[in-house]
C-alpha cells in the first residue's frame, strides 16, 4: 500500500445516484418526445449499463432491439446525437429542480481531501454538460483539479484510458491514487490503470462482481448516517461506521 495523494471520483452512481431515477427517466422522455416506442425499465437499463456511455447504449439498443421505427443507416449518427442532446437537456432540468441529491458522504470526503491539499478529479463517461451541471449545482465549493467527461477519451470504461489521462493530468502515481467507483466496468478500468479502488455500491450495482476493488461499502456514509463495510482486501477490523479520509490513509499506508 502507498500514501494517498489524489482522489478520483466516477460520477453517476458515486457522486449522485443518477442512473435509475435520472438518466433512465431522461432517456425515456427523449424517446417518447421523438416518437420512438422505446422505454427502458429498470432491468433493461441495468443491462445497458454494462455498455459504457449513453450514446453507446442507444446504439447498442438500436442494433439489438430497434427503436420501433426503421432508421436508415446514414441517419443513425444524427438521430443518436439529437436524442442524446435532448436527453441531456432533460437531465439538467431535473438537476436544477433538485430532483437528484448527492449521495451521503461525497461532499464531506471531497472537502476533507481539499483541506489536505489532495487533487480531486471526476472521471465519467457521462456527457460534459451533465458533469458540469452536477459540479455547478451540487458541488460549487469543491476545487476540482479536472473533470474528464464524455468523449474526451476514445475508449470508454472498462478501458483504463480515462484514468490514465487523469493520472497524467495530476502527475500522481497510480499506487498513490484512490478511485471511487460503483460498477464492475468502472472498477475494472481503475484497476487496469493501477489505482486503488473503493467501490460504493447502489441499487443497480450491489450484485455486480466488485471483487477487484480494494474495499466495497454501501455508501461513504456520514456521522449519524452509517454505511456498511461490505468487503475489504485491506488488513484491519476497525471500521468507523462511515468512510473517512483519515481511515483510508491509515489503511492504504
The arithmetic mean of pLDDT across residues 127-139, rounded, is 91
Pairing of strands 146-148, 177-181: unpaired
Indicate which residues carry an active-site annotation: 10, 12
Q: In what order do the strands lie in the sheet with 146-148?
A: 146-148, 120-123, 6-9, 177-181, 196-200, 215-217, 229-232
> What SS3 state is found at 215?
strand
Which pLDDT score is estimated for 18?
85
Pairing of strands 229-232, 215-217: antiparallel
- Alpha-carbon span 122 to 9, nearest angstrom: 5
End-to-end CA distance of the chain: 5
Which pLDDT score is estimated for 204?
86
Query: Which CATH architecture is the domain 6-17+102-252 placed in?
Result: 3-Layer(aba) Sandwich (3.40)
Q: Residues with Cβ < 8 Å from 98, sequence gap 6 or more?
A: none
Query: Superfamily assignment of 19-96 in CATH?
Result: Putative phosphatase; domain 2 (1.10.150.240)
CATH 1.10.150.240 segments of the chain: 19-96
Mean pLDDT (the chain) is 94
pLDDT tens digit sequence for 231-246: 999 877 789 999 999 9
CATH 3.40.50.1000 segments of the chain: 6-17+102-252
Name the β-bridge partners of 232. 215
Q: Residues with Cβ < 8 Å from 242, sequence gap 6 or more?
A: 104, 105, 220, 221, 222, 223, 225, 226, 227
pLDDT tens digit sequence for 140-187: 999 999 999 988 999 999 999 999 999 999 999 999 999 999 999 999
Phi, psi at residue 146, to the nearest 5°?
-170, 160
Which pLDDT score is estimated for 176?
97
Say if residue 1's pLDDT is above 70: no
Which pLDDT score is estimated for 52?
85
pLDDT tens digit sequence for 34-66: 999 999 999 999 899 889 889 999 999 999 999
Which pLDDT score is estimated for 190?
98
Cβ(202)–Cβ(106) under 8 Å?
Answer: no
Chain mean position to CA 62: 24
Which pLDDT score is estimated for 125?
87
pLDDT tens digit sequence for 195-228: 999 999 998 898 999 999 999 999 999 999 999 9
Say if residue 117's pLDDT is above 90: yes
Question: Which triple of cell numbers denotes residue 91?
Answer: 437531465
Amino acid at each position: 500500500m502507498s500514501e494517498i495523494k489524489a482522489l478520483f471520483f466516477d460520477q453517476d452512481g458515486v457522486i449522485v445516484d443518477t442512473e435509475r431515477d435520472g438518466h433512465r427517466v431522461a432517456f425515456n422522455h427523449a424517446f417518447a418526445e421523438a416518437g420512438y416506442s422505446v422505454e427502458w425499465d429498470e432491468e433493461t437499463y441495468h443491462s445497458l449499463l454494462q455498455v459504457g456511455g449513453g450514446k453507446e447504449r442507444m446504439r447498442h439498443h438500436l442494433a439489438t432491439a430497434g427503436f420501433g421505427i426503421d432508421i436508415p443507416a446514414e441517419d443513425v449518427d444524427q438521430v443518436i446525437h439529437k436524442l442524446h442532446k435532448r436527453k441531456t437537456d432533460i437531465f439538467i432540468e431535473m438537476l436544477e429542480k433538485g430532483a437528484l441529491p448527492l449521495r451521503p458522504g461525497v461532499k464531506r470526503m471531497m472537502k476533507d481531501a481539499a483541506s489536505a491539499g489532495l487533487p480531486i478529479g471526476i472521471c465519467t463517461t457521462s456527457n460534459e454538460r451533465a458533469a458540469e451541471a452536477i459540479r455547478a449545482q451540487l458541488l460549487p465549493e469543491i476545487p476540482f483539479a479536472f473533470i474528464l467527461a464524455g468523449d474526451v477519451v476514445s475508449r470508454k470504461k472498462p478501458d483504463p484510458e480515462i484514468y490514465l489521462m487523469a493520472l497524467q493530468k495530476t502527475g500522481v502515481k497510480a499506487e498513490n491514487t484512490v478511485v471511487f467507483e460503483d460498477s464492475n466496468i468502472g472498477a475494472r478500468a481503475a484497476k487496469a490503470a493501477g489505482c486503488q479502488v473503493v467501490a460504493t455500491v447502489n441499487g443497480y450495482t450491489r450484485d455486480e462482481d466488485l471483487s477487484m476493488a480494494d474495499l466495497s461499502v454501501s455508501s461513504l456514509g456520514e456521522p449519524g448516517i452509517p454505511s456498511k463495510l461490505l468487503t475489504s482486501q485491506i488488513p484491519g477490523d476497525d471500521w468507523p461506521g462511515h468512510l473517512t479520509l483519515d481511515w483510508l490513509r491509515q489503511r492504504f499506508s
